[in-house]
Amino acid sequence: MAGTLYVVATPLGNLGDLSPRAADTLKRVAVVAAEDTRHSKPLLQHAGSHAQLISFHEHSSDRALERILRILAEGRDVAFITDAGTPAISDPGVALVAAARERGIQVVTIPGPSAVAASLSVSGIGADRYVFLGFLPRKGSDRRRLLLTAAQSEWTVVIFEAPNRVTQLLADLMEVCGPERRAAVSRELTKVFEETRAGTLQELSELYAEAPVRGEATVVLSGTGKEHVEERLPDPVERGKALLAEGLSRKDVVNRLVEETGISRNAAYKLVNEL
């Protein structure tokens, strides 16, 4: 029989949050696949686990994935953990879980800490319904699209961000949401310097411009409270013809098409050249 893949939630920072069931699982399995083996060694020592520790992260090759699947096929149990929180939430765990399921391998959750739930619970912002966007792209049309998704959401939105980019994220959100939208920023959850600040986007933007964030951050943005009715985007071909007729350069027409119709820049270039 094949082994079992255990998806094990680990502490966000405070080792006291490791559940007894999670600790027992880490002790019982033959292998622990970890996002960062150096980071995970102290956790395994804390749990009293002597399991073989192997690496599996965002940049792991297909060979690393196949290695874990082969271990499971041999009948050995594997626990998958990330640096913090619940695996397969905005990390490479999805590929491993999906591949295990495709091969008929049993996948079992060992639930526990989650930065999403933790930040929502202390934000003071409604969480009966929410949208999770994870880490936004650093730039480009995909970032703009997701920022607009956040701005237009009827429900609360949760976004992860690296400490050195929180100030820019707040500024970008303020641009699309307006300065008075309520939000909260949590950092260093469960750690010594845990902090959650709540206020308007403008207040938070000014605060963190003066005192930059340290530690991974979770931003909770309040929703609009009303359903967003999607506006019908202009037809790219007809809009392209109209813009060219106005005398705009091809470059300017491409930029306008990307902004106004939502098509990709490559598609816009091809369309303009054909016109």
Structure tokens at 103: 């091969």
Q: Give CA–CA dist 257/21, Å, rounded.
A: 54
121 located within any domain: yes
Q: Is the pTM of this model over 0.75?
A: yes
27-62 pLDDT, tens digit per residue, is: 999 999 999 999 999 999 999 999 999 999 888 888
Q: DSSP of 67-122, one letter per residue?
A: HHHHHHHTT--EEEE-SSB-TTSSSTHHHHHHHHHHTT-EEEEE----HHHHHHHH
Say whether both 109 and 125 belong to one domain: no
Structure tokens at 174: 């303020």
230 located within any domain: no
Confidence of residue 100 (pLDDT cuts 50, 70, 90): very high
194 located within any domain: yes
Say whether both 109 and 146 belong to one domain: no
Task: Evaluate the CA torsion angle 40, 41, 46, 52 in order and state its sign.
Answer: positive
Domain housing 250: 236-274
Start-to-end CA span in the chain (Å): 61
Say whether both 108 and 8 belong to one domain: yes
56-95 pLDDT, tens digit per residue, is: 988 888 899 999 999 999 999 999 999 999 998 877 789 9
Confidence of residue 194 (pLDDT cuts 50, 70, 90): very high
Say whether both 107 and 120 belong to one domain: no
179 located within any domain: yes
Mean pLDDT of the 92-103 span = 92
226 located within any domain: no
- Give the per-residue pLDDT at 260: 83
77 located within any domain: yes
Task: Evaluate the CA torsion angle 200, 206, 210, 213 in order and state its sign.
Answer: positive
- Shortest CA distance to 60 belongs to which of 80, 30, 86, 85? 80
149-158 pLDDT, tens digit per residue, is: 999 999 999 9
Give bridge partners of residue 219 from the DSSP assignment: 159, 185
Q: Which of 90, 113, 136 lies at the terminal end of a domain, its last residue? A: 113
Give me the CATH number covering residue 89. Answer: 3.40.1010.10
Structure tokens at 12: 């966000």
Structure tokens at 203: 């207040």
Q: Give CA–CA dist 51/126, Å, rounded.
A: 41
Say whether both 258 and 199 belong to one domain: no
Say whether both 75 and 107 belong to one domain: yes
CB 31 within 8 A of CB 96: no
Say whether both 156 and 197 belong to one domain: yes
181 located within any domain: yes
Give me the CATH number covering residue 141. Answer: 3.30.950.10
214-256 pLDDT, tens digit per residue, is: 888 999 999 998 876 566 677 888 888 888 888 888 889 889 8
Secondary structure letter of residue 225 according to DSSP? S
Say whether both 184 and 102 belong to one domain: no
Q: Which of 113, 136, 154 lies at the terminal end of a domain, its last residue? A: 113
Q: Which of 74, 96, 113 lies at the terminal end of a domain, its last residue? A: 113
231 located within any domain: no
Say whether both 108 and 122 belong to one domain: no
Say whether both 266 and 240 belong to one domain: yes
State the total domains in the chain: 3
- Give the per-residue pLDDT at 231: 62
Say whether both 200 and 180 belong to one domain: yes
Say whether both 140 and 106 belong to one domain: no
